[in-house]
Structure 1
Amino acid sequence: MHPSVTFLNFDHTYTWQRNLLRFPHEWIDMYDIKGTNLYCDDQAIREIESRLTRRYTRGITFIGSGNYHYVSYMLLKQFHEPFTLVLFDHHTDMNEQTLFPLLSCGSWVSYAQKHVPTLKHVVIIGSAASQSSSHVTIFPKSDLMYAPTAIMRAIPTKHVYISIDKDVLRKQDAQTNWDQGTMALHTLVTYIEHLFQSKHVLGVDICGEDRSFCAKNEQANETIIRACFKHMPVSSAS
């Protein structure tokens, strides 16, 4: 993982978070692509993936609103090592859509399980759902912190990819356009630090923006960036 940031500009939310632009970053416009809000059609998938190839580095990717969380699926497709997806999200994003089988913000994890052969397991932390399976381990939302060692034991691979939807957080720390969980930001940071210390992190993405709460979300985003950069070989925060 490279200590850098990529902003995907689907919804202009990051133009209002100017403190984040102090970090070394790339900016990729996506707002002109049709068929991207909530659902993503095949033509939009091809165009988004084409623009993602322009990135010079692979570090932290900011996606925008949770409406575009499906971009995580496209980011996962680049990895050739067996890995576990560690998802911090108030929702599982595993909805099966049979009538309209489009990639969406609510189905992308299921897509990844079917189409990313190197994805071996999914660990979801902070979800309102609680039922685990042989390929998915869920740590449901709780006011109490799970022991980081318990989470590490649930990860069967050396490599992990971290995906964060800030709707997992309590409203004191971030606000999104979806219903939210109860996790404190400092708890999320603790989990992130343990993942970096215990596993090889292939990449991180973050979503959950809302233009009505840019200042609060900017603070949360900056905290997450610094928590990740702290464990990378070169410090890039200014």
Structure 2
Amino acid sequence: MHPSVTFLNFDNTYTWQRNLLRFPHEWIDMYDIEGTNLYCDDHAMQEIEKRLARRHTRGMTLIGSGNYHYVSYVLLKQFHEPFTLVLFDHHTDMNEQTLFPLLSCGSWVSYAQKHVPTLKHVVIIGSATSYVSSHVTTFPKNDVTYAPMTIVRAIPTKHVYISIDKDVLRPQDAQTNWDQGTMSLQMLLIYIDYLFRYKHVLGVDVCGEDRTFCVKNEQANEAIIRACFKHMPISSAS
């Protein structure tokens, strides 16, 4: 991972989070692509992949609203090493789109399991429900905080990819356009720290923006970025 941020501008939420632009970054406009909100059609997917291919570095990716979380699937496709997806999300995003088999923000994880051969396991933390599968380990939200090493031990591979939807967080720490979980931002940062210490992190993405609550979300985003950057060889901008 390179210590930089790629902002994907689907919904203009990051134009209201100017403090984040102090970090080394790239800005990729996506707002003009049709067929991207909640669901992604084939034409939109091709255009998103084409624009992502122009990136100069591969660091953290900030996606925008959770409506575009399916972009994580595109990011997962670039890795050739066997890896585990570590997903912090109030939803499992493993719905099966049978009637209309389009990639969506609610189905992208199951889609990735079918189409990304190097994705060997999925660990979901903070979801409202459990998902039972030999290739999925779920740590649903409850009254007990999971020990960080419990999470680490559930990961069978050396390499991991971290995807964070801020709807996993309690409303005091972030506000999204989806129903939210109960995890504190401080606990999320601890989990991130352990993952970087004990695993090889291939990449990180973050979504869960809402323009109505930009200040709160900007603070959470900055804390997450700094938690990741402190483990990288080059320090972030001050």
- Fold equivalence (TM over 0.5): yes
| CA apart distance, 1:143 | 3.6
Deviates more, 1:44-53 or 1:124-133: 124-133
In structure 2, give the amino acid aligned to 1:237: A
So what's the TM-score if we normalise by structure 2?
0.99
Count, aligned residues: 238
Matches within 5 A, 1:13-24: 13-24=13-24
Distance 1:59 1:148 in 2: 24
SS at match of 1:8: strand
Map 1:99-110; keep pairs closer than 5 Å: 99-110=99-110
- Deviation by residue 1:37-88 (Cα, 9 ceiling, x = unmatched): 0000000000000000011111110000000000000000000000000000
SS at 2:130 equivalent: coil
Correspondence for 2:138: 138
Q: Distance in 2 between matches of 1:132 and 1:154?
A: 14
Aligned residue number for residue 96 of structure 2: 96
Contact 2:92 2:131 in 1 (8 A): no
Aligned to 1:63: 63
For 2:62, what is the secondary structure of its paired residue?
A: strand
Q: Tell me, yes or no, if the aligned pair for 1:143 and 1:183 is still in contact at 8 Å.
A: no
What does the per-residue CA deviation read over 1:67-126, in whole Å, with 9 as the maximum and x for residues that have no partner? 000000000000000000000000000000111000000000011000000000000000
The 2-side partners of 1:33 and 1:58 are apart by: 22
CA RMSD of aligned residues (A): 0.6
Other-structure match for 1:2 = 2
State whether residues 226 and 236 of structure 2, in contact with CA within 8 Å, keep that contact through their aligned partners in structure 1.
Answer: no
Shift of the alpha carbon at 1:236? 1.6
Amino acid at match of 2:200: H
Q: TM-score, normalised by structure 1?
A: 0.99
Q: Give unpaired runs (5+ residues) of structure 2.
A: none
Distance in 2 between residues matched to 1:82 and 1:132, nearest whole Å: 21
Preserved CA contact (<8 Å) 2:64 2:207: yes
Secondary structure of the residue aligned to 1:62 is strand
Shift of 1:132: 3.0
Structure 1 unpaired stretches of 5+:
none
Question: d(CA) in 2 for partners of 1:219 and 1:68?
Answer: 21
Aligned to 2:191: 191
* TM-fit CA distance, 1:133: 1.6
In the aligned structure 2, how far is the partner of 1:236 from the partner of 1:38?
32
Q: Deviations over 1:118-158 (max 9, x none)?
A: 00000000001123320000000124320111111110000
Contact 2:90 2:180 (8 Å CA) reproduced? yes
- Cα distance in 2, alignment partners of residues 35 and 234 from structure 1: 37
Counterpart residue identity of residue 96, structure 1 = E
Q: Distance in 1 between the 2:64 and 2:237 partners?
A: 21
Whole-angstrom distance in 1 between the partners of 2:131 and 2:207:
24
Does residue 72 (structure 1) correspond to residue 72 (structure 2)? The answer is yes
Shift >2 Å, 4+ stretches: none
Name 2:125's counterpart in structure 1: 125
Alpha-carbon separation, structure 1, partners of 2:134 and 2:197? 26
Counterpart secondary structure, 2:142: coil
State the secondary structure of the residue aligned to 1:236. coil
Aligned partners of 2:125 and 2:148: how far apart in 1?
11
Residue deviations 1:9-59 (CA, integer Å, cap 9, x gap) = 000000000000000000000000000000000000000000000111111
TM-superposition CA deviations, 1:168-194 (whole Å, max 9, x none): 000000000000000000000000000
- The secondary structure found in structure 2 opposite 1:226 is helix
Conserved in 2, the CA contact under 8 Å of 1:226 and 1:237? no
Q: Which residue of 2 aligns with 1:114?
A: 114
